[in-house]
Amino acid sequence: MKRLAFYILLSVCCLPALFSQTLAEAKDLYLKGEYAQALPVFEAEYTAKPTDANLNQWYGVCLYETGSDLTKAEECLLVASKKNVQDSFFYLGQIYTQEFRFEEAKEAFDKYETLLSKNPRRKKEDLEKYEANSARLEDKKKQLSRLNRVVSNTEDVQIIDSLVVSKAEFLSAYKQSHSTGRLDYFEKVFKASKPVKSTVYFNEKETKIYYGQPGKDGVYALYSMEKLLDDFGNERKLSDNNFGLTGDVNYPFMMADGVTIYFAAKDYDSLGGYDLFVSRYNLNNDTYLTPERLNMPFNSIYNDYLMVVDEEKGVGWFASDRYQPEGKVCIYTFIPNKTVKILESDDERYLANRARITSLKDSWVAGQNYSSLIASARKAPKEVVKVVKDFEFVINDDYTYYKLADFKDKAARDIYYKVVQKKADERDLTKKLNESRTAYSIASADKRRNMTTEILNLEKQIEQLQAEIPILEVQARNQEIEKLK
C-alpha cells in the first residue's frame, strides 16, 4: 500500500515537469517553423488557459500557418494583440490582407512596425533579427499595396456557377462544345518518365495540340505539335523566352481563331501561385505578343489556371484552389465579356467581395435568369463519331480514302505513302521559299546575290515535286482499282 502511494505521489510530482517539457518542445518547433507539429500541444494548452496572451499568439500563428482555421486564428491573435504581443500584429495584418480588409491590415502592420522599432539593436544578433523582421514586413506591405490596386481594377463579370472537384479529375467539370476543341491530361496523351502536371489542348479538327511540359531546368513551358500521318510531331516551343515570364508557364487553351491563347504562369510578381494570362499570336513575325495578366476575380492570391472560353455555349470556365482544402479545386463558370468592363463602386467591401468571389449572386444582373445557361454549361456535348482524315484521295466514284489503312492493296498503299511524304516536303519547301522571298525583299544588294541561288534551288525542288506527285497518284489509284475489281 505504501509502495502504491509512493508511485501515485511520484506521478503527481512528475506530471507538471513532463507537461512543461512538452510545451517547451512545442515552442522549439514553433521557432523552427514546424507549426503543424506544434499545433496540437498549443491547442491543448489554449483549451486549458484561453485567456493567456502568449498561448493565444502561438496557437493563432499555428492556425494561420497551417491554414486550419483563419477565423479562430484571428480571434486568438486579437487576444494577443491586446497585450501588445508584437508578432500578433504581423499575422493579423496578413489575415486582413487575405480578406482584402486593407485599412485594418495597414493599421496592424503600422502597429507591428512601431513595436519593432522599440526592439534593442545593440548586439549583432539583435540587429540581424531586426533587419530580417523589417524586410519581411516590407514584403507584406508591398503585397498589401499591390492587392489594393488590383482590387480597384476588378472586372465586372457574371460568375454563374461553381463546382468543387478533385484536382486529379478537374477536367471532368469542363463540358465545352466540340467546336471549342477538347482537353486531356498530359500523362494520358504522352508517356512520361516522371509525373507531369499539365493538360493538352486539341483544336476542333485535332490537327494541332498545345501543352505545357518541364524543360531540363524543371521549368514548364508551352509547346505545340501538328498532326502527321499516325501521330503528332514537329514539336515547337511557343516562346523562346517563355513569354518574358520567370516561372512555369502551363495549362494552355487556344481560341478558335488560332491567335488568342490563354495560359497560367508563375511569375516573380504573381498574385498567388499560378496567375491567368492572355496573349495573341503575331502573324507578321511568328511570335506571341507580351502577355496580359487577367484582372480579378479571375486571378487571386491562390492558384488560378486553365481558362477555357466556349463561344458556342456563351460561357467560360477557370479553375482555382482559393478557399479549397488540399486536393480540391473549384471550377467557376462565367459569361465572357466582349470587352473588359471594370467594376465601378465606392463600396470598398463590395469591391473586395466581388474580387474574392465571396458570393456568385453578387455578380448577377438583377432580373436575369441564368438557369438555362447553367444547364447548358453543365451538359456534356453529344459524342460525335469521328472520321479520321489524314488526307483525301479519290479512287473512283464509289471510293474515297482518308487514311493509309483504307488501301486494300499493299503496293498501292506504299506508292501513296510516297505521295504523302512528297506533299509534306512540298509544304516545308514552300514555307521556306516564302520566308526566303520575304527576306530577299528587304535584304541589301550583296546579300541578295547570295540568296538568289538558294531561291532558285527551292523553286526547282518544288517544281520537281509537283511533277512527281500526280504521277504517283495515278499509279496508286490504278493499282488500287485493280485490287477492287
Q: Residue 353 corresponds to which amino acid? A: N
Look at residue 354 and tell me if it is in a domain: yes
Mean pLDDT of 246-273: 94
First to last CA, the chain: 110
Q: What is the CATH number of the domain that holds 139?
A: 1.25.40.10
Look at residue 321 and tell me if it is in a domain: yes
36 & 129 share domain: yes
Q: Residue 37 corresponds to which amino acid? A: Q
Q: What is the pLDDT of residues 74-101, one digit of tens each?
A: 999 999 999 999 999 999 999 999 999 9
Maximal CA-CA distance, the chain: 114
pTM of the model as a whole:
0.72
Q: What is the pLDDT of residues 422-465, one digit of tens each?
A: 999 999 999 999 888 988 888 888 888 888 888 999 999 999 99
Domain stops at, among 378, 402, 431: 378
pLDDT value for 252: 98
Tell me the pLDDT of the chain averaged across its residues: 91
Mean pLDDT of 296-303: 96
pLDDT value for 400: 93
The pLDDT of residue 19 is above 50: no
Supply 148's cell numbers.
489594393
The pLDDT of residue 17 is above 80: no
For 150-188, give the DSSP string: HHTT-B--EEEEEEEEEGGGGGGG----GGG-EEEEHHH
DSSP 389: -
For 408-448, give the DSSP string: S-HHHHHHHHHHHHHHHHHHHHHHHHHHHHHHHHHS-HHHH
CA distances from 133 to 70, 122, 130, 331, 482 (A): 22, 16, 5, 38, 86
* C-alpha angle 160-165-170 in degrees, rounded to nearest 5: 95
CA distances from 416 to 411, 462, 469 (A): 9, 18, 9
169 & 43 share domain: no
201 & 284 share domain: yes
Q: What is the pLDDT of residues 386-423, one digit of tens each?
A: 667 889 999 999 999 999 999 999 999 999 999 999 99
Mean pLDDT of 176-202: 94
Domain stops at, among 378, 404, 419: 378
Range of the domain at 341: 158-378
Dihedral sign from CA coordinates of 59, 61, 67, 70: positive
Look at residue 385 and tell me if it is in a domain: no
DSSP 289: P
pLDDT value for 386: 64
DSSP 266: -
Q: What is the pLDDT of residues 464-483, one digit of tens each?
A: 999 999 999 999 999 999 99
DSSP 342: B
